[in-house]
Amino acid sequence: MTTFNLLVAPFLEFGFMRRALIGCLALSLSGAPIGVFLVLRRMSLMGDVMSHAILPGAAVGFLLSGFSLFAMTLGGVVAGLAVALAAGFISRTTPLKEDASFASFYLVSLGLGVLIVSLKGSNVDLLHVLFGNVLALDDPAIYLIASIATVTFLAFAVVYRLLVAECFDPGFLRSVGGAGGAVHFLFLVLVVLNLVGGFNALGTLMVVGLIILPAASSRFWSESIGGQIIAAALIAVVSSYVGLVVSYHVAVPTSPAIILTAGAIHALSLLLGRHGSFLRQMLRAQHLRG
């Protein structure tokens, strides 16, 4: 098998492969800055919680309209924002911390979502909701993911500096004008939108992997936030492409192939990255001993 047949031919011959690649690329580019800021804020697990928080809303949309893109997307957005607001309210009005609030909603949301899907659908439908079907992306789904990516780019262009400031010193924005709460809420909205967009491709259990794993890996390749965003985007794009190629040729599920590729890149970054990797620590230790 030639290199062309291995790496390029599947995307030239089959429209579903091209649509899958376009959808994953759009999600990779918009999810990269989201993931970097989640990691910087030490909110990585919150991304996983929010990916499950959208499940009951998407499941209600499925219960009412089947696999309707509009119904499941609207339900996911409403459910995700409701959980984010409820968890924030509980953490501010009770002794329960925000991470514990999110964890509680995570468990309830996962159980409720699975129950709702099971009421109408089969095991195949449940697997589709949980793990997605990136090879079945149609034009409306791609338009949705591309629109979410565009909104994410525009939002970051406007509030990037405020997000950086709120990330490292939340009290500063509150002291100079009270914008911290608004910036934090806008960031949560972007998180929910990207999770909902990715849910249509990778499912609720896998979508957060394409957001968090590249972001975590990027910290081993760059020390600046801008550099980490670029590195995370590149890693996500490579993971998507390689995962699709492996899935096509080896006949394995696509979403796990993409996430496992991102996981392999993360392992390599941990071992060989330019900043803080095991290799760098070993070289530094040898230099100090010398």
Q: What is the CATH number of the domain that holds 161?
A: 1.10.3470.10
User: What is the pLDDT, as a whole number, of residue 244?
Assistant: 95
If you average pLDDT over residues 227-253, what whole number do you get?
Answer: 94
User: What is the pLDDT, as a whole number, of residue 122?
Assistant: 67
Residue 241, amino acid: Y
* Burial profile 15-24: b = 16 or more Cβ within 10 angstroms, e = fewer: eebebbbbbb
Using a 10 angstrom Cβ sphere, with 0-12 exposed, 13-18 middle and 19 or more buried, the burial of residue 289 is: exposed
**Helices marked H in 66-97 — which ranges?**
69-93
Tell me the pLDDT tens digit for each residue of 241-289: 999 999 999 988 898 999 999 999 999 999 999 988 898 888 887 777 7
* Mean pLDDT over the full length of the chain: 84
| pLDDT of residue 97 exceeding 70 | no
Q: Which of 178, 211, 171 is nearest to 27 (CA)?
A: 211
User: What is the pLDDT, as a whole number, of residue 290?
Assistant: 60
User: What is the pLDDT, as a whole number, of residue 72?
Assistant: 86
Angle made by CA atoms 145, 241, 20, in degrees to the nearest 5: 40
If you average pLDDT over residues 151-179, what whole number do you get?
Answer: 78
Report the distance separating Cα 204 and Cα 168, nearest Å. Answer: 29
Count of structural domains within the chain: 1
Report the distance separating Cα 200 and Cα 26, nearest Å. Answer: 13
If you average pLDDT over residues 171-189, what whole number do you get?
Answer: 72
Residue 86, amino acid: A
**Higher per-residue pLDDT: 207 or 24:** 24
| pLDDT of residue 126 exceeding 80 | no
Using a 10 angstrom Cβ sphere, with 0-12 exposed, 13-18 middle and 19 or more buried, the burial of residue 223 is: exposed
Most confident region among 52-61, 85-94, 258-267 by mean pLDDT:
258-267
Q: Report the phi/psi class of residue 121: left, alpha or beta, with left for phi > 0 and alpha for psi in -120 to 50.
A: beta
CA atoms in the 13 A half-sphere facing the CB of 283: 10
- What dihedral do alpha carbons 193, 197, 200, 206 form, nearest 10°? -80
| pLDDT of residue 179 exceeding 70 | no
**pLDDT band at residue 175, thresholds of 50, 70 and 90?**
low
Maximum CA extent, the chain = 69
User: What is the pLDDT, as a whole number, of residue 227?
Assistant: 94
Tell me the pLDDT tens digit for each residue of 128-144: 777 777 888 888 889 99
User: What is the pLDDT, as a whole number, of residue 147?
Assistant: 94
**Higher per-residue pLDDT: 261 or 90:** 261
| Contacting residues for 159 by C-beta, under 8 A, at least 6 apart | 183, 186
Is 79 in contact with 63 (CB distance < 8 Å)? no
**pLDDT band at residue 229, thresholds of 50, 70 and 90?**
very high
* Domain membership of residue 133 as a residue range: 3-289
If you average pLDDT over residues 17-30, what whole number do you get?
Answer: 93
User: What is the pLDDT, as a whole number, of residue 233?
Assistant: 96
| pLDDT of residue 66 exceeding 80 | no
* Terminal Cα-to-Cα distance of the chain (whole angstroms): 49
| pLDDT of residue 49 exceeding 80 | no
**pLDDT band at residue 204, thresholds of 50, 70 and 90?**
confident
User: What is the pLDDT, as a whole number, of residue 98?
Assistant: 64
- Which letter does DSSP use for residue 224 in this model? S
